[in-house]
Amino acid sequence: MGRGGASKQRDDAERKCMATGEVQPKNGLIRFVVGPEGQAVPDIMGKLPGRGMWVAADRAALETAVKKKLFSRGAKQPVVVPDGLVEEVERQLARRVVDLISMQRKAGKAVAGYEKVKSWLQMEEAEVLIQAVDGSGRGKSKLSTPHYGTYIGCLTADELGLAFGRQTVIHGALASGGLTQRVVEEAQRLNGVRKNETGNGQSKG
């Protein structure tokens, strides 16, 4: 822990969004640093060296930060904003969610396919229901989110396919424990950044 460890931990828990001015938990924000060539670099994992600049995991907030040149203000130096920065944040977040689900699958804590997911829901094994944003609405409506669990609906069938080692996946489920909470947090960030027809695909029970 070290000297003042507890207070440092509390200090690290929240950050202020440059675009909205709101203070919120770090897991609802995107961290950026200034790269070696003076460019804004998204730090999805929160581990890159350098002074962090924080923006809410919300597409409008990110677009505001780009439009109003808030990275230069936050870094107190000129910062180059690469073209397509918001899309790059979305791409990296999606990859992060896919990787985490894949790790849960390898640990035996994730299943895919309508029948397996239905079985897990019936046996109350599932804590999280995942469904592809581009899957059939009628098919998806046949499965319900666990009443105490979470719904993730911001990944495409192709992205879920990557996570489960298949071509495409419409229905998936996660058991509790392991990296499941991390999947939920990262999916909430992705949902805020991604434009999709479902709007807020996330709902916590």
The CATH number assigned to the domain holding 146 equals: 3.30.1330.30
Does the CA dihedral 164-140-134-97 come out positive or negative?
Answer: negative
Contact 92/175 with Cβ under 8 angstroms?
A: no
Q: Of 38, 67, 82, at which residue does a domain stop?
A: 82
Q: Let me know the angle formed at the C-alpha of 138 by 135 and 103, rounded to the nearest 5 degrees.
A: 40
Q: What is the pTM of this model?
A: 0.88
Structural domains of the chain, count:
2
**Do 132 and 174 reside in the same domain of the chain?**
yes
Say how far apart CA 186 and CA 144 lie, in whole Å: 21
Angle subtended at Cα 16 by Cα 14 and Cα 22, rounded to the nearest 5 degrees: 105
Residues 146 and 97 in one domain: yes
DSSP for 137-195, written as a single string: HHHHTTS---TTSEEE--S-HHHHHHHHTSS--SEEEEESSTTHHHHHHHHHHHHHH--
Q: Are residues 76 and 102 in the same domain?
A: no
Choosing from 48, 82, 116, the residue where a domain stops is 82
Task: Please list the pLDDT of the chain residue by residue as tens digits (205 residues).
Answer: 344 444 344 446 899 999 999 999 999 999 999 999 999 999 999 999 999 999 999 999 999 999 999 999 999 999 999 999 999 999 999 999 999 999 999 999 999 999 999 999 999 999 999 999 999 999 999 999 998 899 999 999 999 999 999 999 999 999 999 999 999 999 999 999 997 544 433 333 3
Same domain, 119 and 76: no
Residues 30 and 109 in one domain: no
Range of the domain at 105: 89-204
How does strand 171-175 pair with strand 110-112?
antiparallel
192 with 117, same domain: the answer is: yes
Question: Does residue 164 share a domain with residue 113?
Answer: yes
Question: Same domain, yes or no, for 76 and 96?
Answer: no
Domain termination residue (choose one: 67, 82, 97): 82
Output Rg (C-alpha) for the chain, integer angstroms. Answer: 18
